[in-house]
Amino acid sequence: MGKLRNEFLTDKEIIFMGYSSRNPQFSGLVYKAFTKAGYKVYPINPKAGGKFDVKVYNSLGELPKIPSTAYVLMNNSNAREAVKQLKDGGVKKILFHIGKTADKALLDECAAAGIETAVACPMMIFGSGLHKLHAFFAGVK
Amino acid sequence: MTNTYPLLRVRWSNEHIMAVLFAVLLLYMLPVWVGKPGDILAFLAVLVFSLLLDAISGFMRYKKPVCSVSAAVTAGILQVLTPGIPLWGRLIGVFAAIIIGKQLWGGTGKNTMNPAILGYLVICIMFPTAAASLETSALLIPALVLSLPFILFRPFAVLGYFAGIIAAFLTGSITDLLPITASCVFLGSIVLTDPVTVTPLRSVGLAGGFAAAFLPLYTANPALFFALAVLAFNLVSYLADEYFSKPHEKPNFSGLALKSPYKDVDYGSEAADLSINEKTCAGEAVSKGASEFTRECTPEFTPDIILERIKRNGVYGMGGGAFPTAVKINDVMSSDAEKRYLIVNAVECDPGLVHDKWILNNRNKDIIKGIELISRCIGFRKKCIAVKDNTEIEFSDNIEVFRVKKFYPAGYEKALIRRVLGIDVPDGSIPSKLGILVLNVQTVLSVYEAVYLDMAVDSKYITVSDITKGTARTVRVKLGERVSDIIERIQPGSQLIFTGGGVMQAHMADDGELIGKSTNLITVSPLPRFKESPFCSNCGSCKANCPKGLAVNRIAELTDLGKFDEIERYRPEKCIKCGLCSYVCLAGRNLSAKVSEAREKVLYKEKVLL
């Protein structure tokens, strides 16, 4: 696992695993930040049922294509399941939102599967103000 | 079911209004602070305590930081109501207000009683000499003036309150009104206008406000009994709203003036035509405007030929309903009505649509021909075209131009009939069965193209716009074409693409989404800011702005709880999906999606949609 660098997100398409219905504000914030930066975002939530303001897919299988990069905003046990799906889908890079999401075992599992990982809030790259301050202290460039 | 929502929203929110209220409360404190600047520190202590208490309770409840501006308002009201009370006494009052008056009920917006008044009651019990009287001072004038707009939230309760004060004066329990004017304005316009705890019902509001003002003045401790009277009024309000408010009312609402999101719209130039790849005879004619072309190949159209061509070429309602036009015309022809009417609907009230106006400006002659064709089938007593009042248009003498004020949803069929013809079409009745034919202006154009040019309806004019840049244009597109392909040709590289019937009922376009019969808009826009706040302040704006007078907040609440059996009595099936409730909601909730969900459930249950 390396620190998040801008180069990590070179592919302009990204899967957003765990687009939340319980906290749509934060998910929406990240979604907007990605799209504003020119990324095509594919949000996924298995409970997607038309209650979202954006198009949310139920699973990777519903996507028109599977991008090589994914962002995971989930708790640890759900993230473990998500990583399995992403691995099977051929994803090459995974950005985990926080360290609690991705423990060492999960990161090792990704490394063994040849998946490059980083742990950081994407707002540190795309946000401004306090997000940039957060990025500075977290060493995100 | 796709989740639709307006892409436009009011800028105000509950938090904004609370912040303004807090600023007004600070102005009420000004005279005291000028005399005793030390009170500023005392108030800051109360304020910080109140905010911390509310923030911690809110975080424990919602597991995330929540706005605590309402706690600041509670602290402010207590500060104004209890001058001269020791700091510790006020802190106890704040504790009672926040914990017992608010959090125990479920948090902001869910309390039955006014938290500040509950805190005030506790202070009055601890300090029997506490009195809610404000000193008369010229410094209070700005606060008093700025308090008055809040009366609009609960006008009947405030009217009742002022009536109670005047009654007390006339019966001699008050000898001079001037010294208590400031207190009355404060209590009336700030305390009794809390939409969460005071009912909007006229009779209950008037009686409750009157009692809260009049009765305490005949007791030994008016301050204590005022607090008790307000809390009793709050309780009665809760019971009245819960058990006596009508599930749906006859709407007393004509519409809302909505600002167009565009700065630059070109109505004059030719529309981009993405519907034809090869220039066919008919296609060429359409792009030219067709008048010259058709003169040579116009046969003598009998009603049978006209109806046959309308049916064969699949003309449908282009306004969004997509109802087969031939069926509608047949309904009017077979109607028992003595008088038959034609209304061409070119109002285009949705602020995000521009193509109907373009059609009016550029296909005027073809529309007249379309009207003439329909008139050959039906002998109308009156033919009119309804347009927005700022539309400059001329039609032939036998077609009346009816100008409608620019508001939303002025184009709603039944409302338009009421305005144009003065006829009320009852709920459940279909206008065409009553001899009233209402057709969208593009439908009339389609009639012309289907009959004169014998063209199948496989394309339509829509609005393609960019809300971020404020630009819009009219584009002719083929039905079944991919939305993403169209936006890529008009505006390459766009990311957030929305589509739907208009800017007030749009949804994010799916990757493979196709242009459908009811598609009227493709737009590039920022995501609308629906924060789905749990803090409904019960302001009643959604119900007041519902063209059908539905109890929107109640329907939304029951939808969230999944209680669809209880929803039926609120008649969500009457919803016309205008999206105004979501537009005006101060809690930033997409209410129209919740009402739509309830509507679908009820309609499915009634097997209307099966």
Q: So what's the ipTM on this one?
A: 0.73
Using left for φ > 0, alpha for ψ between -120 and 50, and beta otherwise, residue B173 falls in alpha
Of A25, A36, A50, the CB nearest to B3: A50
Return the sign of the alpha-carbon dihedral for residues B593, B597, B602, B606: positive
Structure tokens at B323: 């109802």
- pLDDT at residue B281 tops 60: no
Burial class of residue A90 (count of CB atoms within 10 Å of its CB; 0-12, 13-18, 19+): exposed
Helix (H, G, I), strand (E, B) or coil at A128: coil
Longest CA–CA separation in chain A, Å: 39
- The verdict on B5 touching A (C-beta cutoff 8 Å) is yes
- Residue-level pLDDT at B1: 57
Cis? peptide before B142, omega within 30° of 0:
no
Minimal C-alpha gap between A38 and chain B (Å): 7
Most B CBs within 10 A among A23, A25, A45, A53, hence the mutation to make, goes to A53
Lowest mean pLDDT among A18-22, A25-29, B375-379, B393-397: B393-397
Query: Shortest CA distance to B114 belongs to which of B131, B101, B104?
Result: B101
Q: Using one digit for the tens of pLDDT, what is the confidence trace for B415-430?
A: 899 989 999 888 888 9
Residue B67 with chain A: CB contacts under 8 Å: none
Residue-averaged pLDDT of chain B: 87
Residue B511 at interface with chain A, using a CB cutoff of 8 Å: yes
Confidence of residue B457 (pLDDT cuts 50, 70, 90): very high
Q: Which residues of B touch A28 (CB under 8 A)?
A: 527
Residues A62 and A35: beta-carbon distance below 8 Å:
no
Contacts with B512 from chain A: Cβ below 8 Å: 64
In this predicted structure, what is the pLDDT of residue B138? 87
B215 touches chain A (CB under 8 A): no
**What is the 8-class DSSP label of residue B517?**
T
CA distance B506 to B6: 6
CB B89 within 8 Å of CB B123? yes
Enter the tokens of residue A79. Answer: 């993230």
B527 and A32 within 8 Å at the Cβ level: the answer is yes
Confidence check: pLDDT of B554 > 80: yes
Nearest CB among A32, A40, A53 relative to B3 is that of: A53
- How distant is the Cα of B75 from the closest Cα of chain A, in angstroms? 28
Are B194 and B118 in contact, with CB atoms under 8 Å apart?
no
Match 């309780």 to its residue by tokens. Answer: B235
The more confidently predicted of residues B604 and B379 is B379
Q: Tell me which H or E stretch contains B610.
A: none
CA angle B511, B513, B516 (to 5 degrees): 170
Segment B256-276 mean pLDDT: 81
Q: Which stretch of A102-111, B270-279, B569-578 has the lowest confidence by average pLDDT?
A: B270-279
Residue to test with chain A: of B482, B495, B499, most A Cβ within 10 A: B495
Question: Can you give the pLDDT at residue B284?
Answer: 47
pLDDT category, B150, cuts 50, 70, 90? very high
CA distance B39 to B32: 8
Residues A27-56 pLDDT 10s = 888 888 888 888 889 999 887 665 667 888
Q: B283: pLDDT confidence band, cut at 50, 70 and 90?
A: very low
Nearest-Cα residue of chain B relative to residue A64: B511
Q: Between chains, do B3 and A28 touch, taking CB under 8 Å as contact?
A: no
B22's CB contacts (< 8 A; 6+ apart) are B69, B72, B73, B76
CA-closest candidate to residue B576, choices B558, B594, B599, B559: B599
Confirm or reject contact between A29 and chain B (CB < 8 A).
no
Residues of chain B in contact with residue A32, where contact means CB-CB under 8 angstroms, are 526-527
- C-alpha distance from residue B120 to each of A119, A128, B56, B102, B574 (Å): 50, 43, 22, 14, 44
Subunit contact A40:B495, Cβ cutoff 8 A:
yes
A87-to-A68, A93, A94, A106, B70 alpha-carbon distances in Å? 10, 10, 10, 12, 48
A50 touches chain B (CB under 8 A): yes
Give the helix/strand (H/E) hosting B181. Answer: helix B181-186
Flag whether residue B482 sits within 8 Å of chain A, measured between CB atoms: no
A23 touches chain B (CB under 8 A): yes
| A38 touches B: beta carbon within 8 Å | yes
- Comparing A49-63, B25-39, B346-360, B394-408, the range with the smallest average pLDDT is A49-63
Distance in Å, alpha carbon of B440 to nearest chain A alpha carbon: 29
Contact between B216 and B164 under an 8 Å Cβ cutoff? The reply is no
Burial class (CB in 10 A: 0-12, 13-18, 19+), B587: buried
Contact at CB, A64 and B532, closer than 8 angstroms: no
Does B2 contact A50 at a Cβ distance shorter than 8 Å?
yes
Q: Chain A, 57-86: which have a CB under 8 Å from a chain B CB? A: 64
